[in-house]
């Protein structure tokens, strides 16, 4: 016997069934057809795939019949040899054939086994998972932990690492974190305001200690010059009073979380988006100033909570007494409510109504001089009042600049030059007048020494000569008369100034003090109001006396300005529009922002308007 073909099949329980078939031939074939000696029911095997020939010395040579290769000891070949004594393995499709030698008979044994299942679905399956998405998408558990790790590293570990790395810098003087991506930038809840843009990568400039809210000393690092105290801390606390109800609860929560009361950041909130820092809301002011007199009983400040609803009448600082010289700012003033209809004597006489009248002498004079001074049909406010360079207020009225166009002090003409009485210097006025009368002669009568115009006879000639001689002689004493005239009713000085006579020619002009700012606790800027007519607020057309205070009351302002919440009003106005908490004397925060905006938008136009 040359070959033993040993077919091995498996029972359901996994045990083997072995079937041997002997063959005396020296050549046998391997294939799918049942007439092959080695029958492999395998669709991957050709009907007649290969033949095995045994030579005399027992060696097996295997050759593919159809040219289809097979595997010999793991290599794909179309022919090869196996020594059954040494053994070998052939693979055809899903079957493998182990070649060995029967020690008794010396025949070659071909042990045939089906290694792989008939089909893919035949293979063992985990029924619990094949119908699910397992293996198709990342598992829930795995990706959950993956995301958790990713988020915690990127959003928690890295930011804390950034903070810890530069923690010591926070205490170093003038130290700044280097630019570059820092993990804690990912914690920012919104863009920083324009003013703080330079700090946007330096979270630790303000957030110094972990779990400690931003403290005032962080702010004061840069703002120690401008952040003046609003009032002494104990007075602030008294004015604020003990919180009640919900506010008390909020305070308790804030205390529990170690958030101090009255910190800069209470009012100045950051991370509210790019752009100017938001002005402080009215509520922060009203917290203390609403009903403040009940808590801070000695205060002189009246209660206020909302410009539209609860705000005292304006109390401008009224001049009590005009002072001489340049110390106008130091002149005594007193705050009086406009409701008390205060008057102010600044030392001048000036009827606004007369000057602003559409007809009459003043208007007529203005029209005559319009070519020279640009007056209109009648005089207007701007003809005498000039804005200061900032546009906020007006320059004091200046006699030479603003009055002398009409109220000329000329008294003599030499050649083309007019001589003027020196304004503001009464003694010089007297001296000039005296000098004038001393150095000039009276007009020479035309009949003096002129034959054709003389009346006949000596008497008229003598009389004329005598009259003239007397006039010449008494000429200097005419100066006293002129001095008296200029300081008295109808005279150039008396028209505008209060003049007192201490006997003889001792005339004293009352000092004049002009007030350029009445509201020192609030801020009023004329520039944003330039679209309004002056007379909308200042009732100058009806004012016959200089003592009339032409300031508008709160009712006039309220025609346009309402409280912060009065969105129906033309200009909802928070406290910050006129008042400044830190009181450095300048414009309030909100107005400064507006000015900055205007400047950056149209610098040239604004400059021209102000001039």
Partner 1 sequence: MASVASPEPRKKAGGRQRTRNHEGFLRHSNFRWLKIALILCIACLVSYFLIDVEPRHNGGSWYGYTLGTIGALLILWLTMLGMRKRAMTPGGWSLKAWTSAHVYLGLSLIVIGTLHTGFQLGWNVHTLAWALMMIVIISGIYGIYAYATLPQGLSANRDEMTETQMIDSLRSLDRQLHDAAQPLVPEQAALVQSSLEQDPFAGHLLQRIGNRYPGCSTRNAQAELRRSRAYQPRLGDDPLDKVDSLLAKKEATLGRLRKHLQIKSMLQIWLFIHVPMTFALLAALSAHIVSVFFYW
Q: Which is nearer to partner 1, 82 or 304 (CB)?
A: 304
Does position 32 interact with partner 1 (CB under 8 A)? The reply is yes
Q: Are 155 and 186 in contact (CB under 8 A)?
A: yes
Three-state DSSP state, 157 = helix
Two tokens, residue 502? 């201490």
| Alpha carbons 450 and 285: distance in angstroms, whole number | 89
The token duo for 85 is: 């004594």
Nearer to partner 1 by Cβ, of 284 and 436: the residue is 284
Please identify which residue in 8, 9, 21, 150 interacts with partner 1, judged by CB under 8 A: 150
Is 44 an interacting residue with respect to partner 1 (CB under 8 A)?
Answer: yes
Considering only residues 550 to 609 of the shown chain, the ones binding partner 1 according to CB under 8 A are: 565
Cα–Cα distance measured from residue 305 to residue 283, given in angstroms and rounded to the nearest whole number: 8
Q: Return the structure tokens found at 88.
A: 């070998």
Distances (CA, A) of 20 to 213, 290, 332, 482: 90, 112, 135, 162
Alpha-carbon distance of 407 to 534, in angstroms, equals 24
Report which of 59, 38, 521 is spatially closest to residue 300, judged by C-alpha positions.
521
Query: Does 133 help bind partner 1 (rule: CB under 8 A)?
Result: yes
Which one of residues 137, 371, 414, 568 is an interface residue with partner 1 (CB under 8 A)?
137
Distance of closest approach, residue 162 Cβ to partner 1, in angstroms? 11
> Cα separation of 395 and 526, whole Å?
12
Q: Which run of H or of E encompasses 41? A: none
Strand partners, 11: none
- Under the binding rule (CB under 8 A), the answer on residue 163 touching partner 1 is yes
Q: Segment contacting partner 1 (CB under 8 A): 127-135, 367-375, 451-459, 597-605?
A: 127-135
Q: Does 214 bind partner 1 (CB under 8 A)?
A: yes
CA dihedral of 360, 365, 366, 369, whole degrees rounded to 10: 160
Nearest distance in Å: CB 335, partner 1: 31
When the beta carbons of 35 and 225 are compared against partner 1, the nearer one is 35
Per DSSP, which regions of 32-78 are E strands? 38-39, 50-54, 60-64, 70-72, 75-77
Is 144 among the residues that bind partner 1 (CB under 8 A)?
yes
Residue among 22, 53, 63, 68 that touches partner 1 (CB under 8 A): 68
Contact stretch for partner 1 (CB under 8 A) within 3-11, 38-46, 72-80, 476-484: 38-46
**Residue with Cβ nearer partner 1 (45 or 72):** 45
Task: Give the residue, chosen from 89, 102, 272, 566, that forms a contact with partner 1 under the rule CB under 8 A.
Answer: 272
DSSP 306: B
**How many residues in total does the chain contain?**
611
List phi, psi (to 5°) of 76. -80, 120
Query: What element of type H or E holds 251?
Result: helix 246-256
**Smallest distance from partner 1 to CB 224, Å:** 23
Q: Which of 36, 46, 218, 595 binds partner 1 (CB under 8 A)?
A: 46
Which range in 181-189, 326-334, 373-381, 457-465 contacts partner 1 by CB under 8 A?
181-189
Q: How many helices, marked H, and strands, marked E, lie in the chain? A: 19, 20
Residue 335 contacts residue 317 (beta carbons within 8 Å): yes
Angle formed at CA 152 by CA 196 and CA 135, multiple of 5 degrees: 135
Q: Is 244 in the site for partner 1 (CB under 8 A)?
A: no
Name which position in 18, 56, 103, 136 contacts partner 1 (CB under 8 A).
136
Among 12, 18, 210, 459, binds partner 1 (CB under 8 A): 210
Which of 9, 21, 47, 81 is the binder for partner 1 (CB under 8 A)?
A: 47
- The pattern of x and - marking residues 183 through 202 that bind partner 1 according to CB under 8 A reads -x-xxxxxx-----------
Q: Which residues pair with 114 in a beta bridge?
A: 95
Residue among 187, 216, 219, 217 at smallest CA distance from 203 = 187
> Which segment (146-154, 220-228, 399-407, 425-433) binds partner 1 by CB under 8 A?
146-154
Stretch that binds partner 1, among 98-106, 208-216, 405-413, 429-437 (CB under 8 A): 208-216
Cβ-based nearer residue to partner 1, 136 or 372: 136
Q: Is 63 helix (H, G, I), strand (E, B) or coil?
A: strand
Sole binder of partner 1 in the list 57, 122, 173, 531 (CB under 8 A): 122
Residues near partner 1 (CB under 8 A) are 32, 41, 43-44, 46-47, 66, 68, 118-122, 125, 127, 130-133, 136-138, 140, 143-148, 150-152, 155-156, 159-160, 163, 184, 186-191, 203, 207, 210-211, 213-214, 250, 253, 257, 259, 269, 272-273, 278, 281, 283-284, 565
């Amino acid at each position: 016997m040359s070959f033993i073909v040993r077919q091995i099949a498996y029972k359901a329980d996994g045990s083997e069934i072995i079937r041997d078939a002997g063959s005396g031939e020296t050549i046998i074939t391997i294939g799918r057809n049942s007439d092959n000696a080695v029958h492999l029911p395998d669709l991957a095997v050709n009907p007649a795939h290969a033949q095995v020939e045994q030579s005399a010395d027992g060696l097996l040579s295997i050759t593919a019949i159809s040219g289809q290769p097979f595997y010999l000891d793991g290599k794909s070949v179309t022919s090869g040899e196996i020594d059954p004594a040494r053994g070998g393995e052939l693979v055809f499709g899903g079957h493998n054939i182990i070649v060995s030698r029967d020690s008794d008979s010396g025949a070659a044994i071909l042990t045939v086994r089906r290694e792989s299942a008939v089909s893919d679905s035949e293979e063992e399956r985990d029924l619990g998972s094949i119908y699910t998405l397992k293996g198709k998408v990342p598992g829930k558990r795995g990706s959950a932990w993956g995301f958790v790790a990713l988020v915690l590293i990127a959003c928690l570990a890295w930011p804390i690492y950034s903070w810890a790395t530069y923690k010591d810098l926070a205490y170093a003087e003038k130290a700044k974190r280097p630019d570059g991506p820092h993990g804690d930038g990912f914690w920012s809840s919104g863009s920083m305001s324009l003013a703080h843009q330079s700090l946007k990568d330096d979270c630790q400039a303000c957030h110094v200690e972990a779990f400690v809210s931003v403290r005032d000393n962080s702010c004061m690092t840069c703002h120690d010059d401008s952040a003046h105290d609003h009032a002494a801390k104990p007075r602030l606390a008294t004015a604020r009073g003990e919180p009640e109800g919900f506010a008390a609860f909020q305070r308790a929560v804030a205390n529990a979380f170690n958030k101090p009361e009255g910190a800069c950041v209470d009012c100045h909130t950051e991370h509210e988006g790019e752009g100017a820092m938001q002005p402080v809301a009215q509520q922060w002011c009203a917290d203390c100033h609403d009903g403040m007199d009940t808590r801070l009983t000695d205060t002189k400040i009246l209660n206020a909570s909302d410009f539209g609803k609860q705000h005292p009448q304006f109390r401008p600082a009224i001049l009590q007494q005009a002072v001489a010289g340049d110390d106008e700012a130091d002149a005594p003033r007193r705050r009086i409510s406009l409701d008390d209809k205060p008057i102010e004597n600044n030392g001048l006489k000036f009827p606004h109504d007369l000057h602003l009248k559409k007809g009459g002498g003043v208007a007529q004079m203005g029209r005559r001089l319009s070519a020279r001074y640009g007056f209109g049909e009648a005089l207007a406010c701007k003809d005498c009042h000039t804005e200061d360079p900032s546009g906020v207020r007006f320059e004091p009225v200046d006699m030479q600049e603003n009055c002398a166009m009409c109220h000329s002090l000329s008294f003599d003409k030499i050649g083309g030059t007019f001589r003027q009485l020196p304004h503001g210097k009464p003694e010089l006025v007297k001296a000039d007048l005296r000098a004038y009368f001393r150095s000039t002669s009276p007009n020479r009568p035309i009949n003096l020494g002129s034959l054709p115009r003389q009346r006949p006879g000596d008497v008229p000639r003598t009389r004329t000569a005598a009259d003239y001689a007397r006039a010449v002689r008494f000429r200097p004493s005419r100066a006293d008369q002129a001095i008296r005239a200029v300081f008295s009713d109808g005279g150039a000085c008396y028209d505008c100034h209060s003049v007192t006579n201490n006997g003889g020619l001792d005339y004293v002009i009352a000092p004049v003090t002009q007030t350029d700012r009445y509201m020192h606790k609030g801020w009023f800027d004329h520039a944003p109001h330039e679209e309004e007519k002056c007379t909308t607020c200042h009732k100058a057309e009806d004012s016959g006396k200089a003592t009339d205070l032409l300031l508008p009351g709160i009712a006039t302002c309220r025609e346009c300005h309402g409280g912060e919440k009065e969105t129906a009003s033309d200009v909802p106005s928070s406290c910050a529009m006129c008042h400044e908490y830190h009181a450095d004397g300048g414009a309030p925060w909100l107005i400064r922002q507006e000015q900055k905006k205007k400047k950056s938008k149209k610098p040239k136009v604004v400059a021209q308007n102000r001039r």
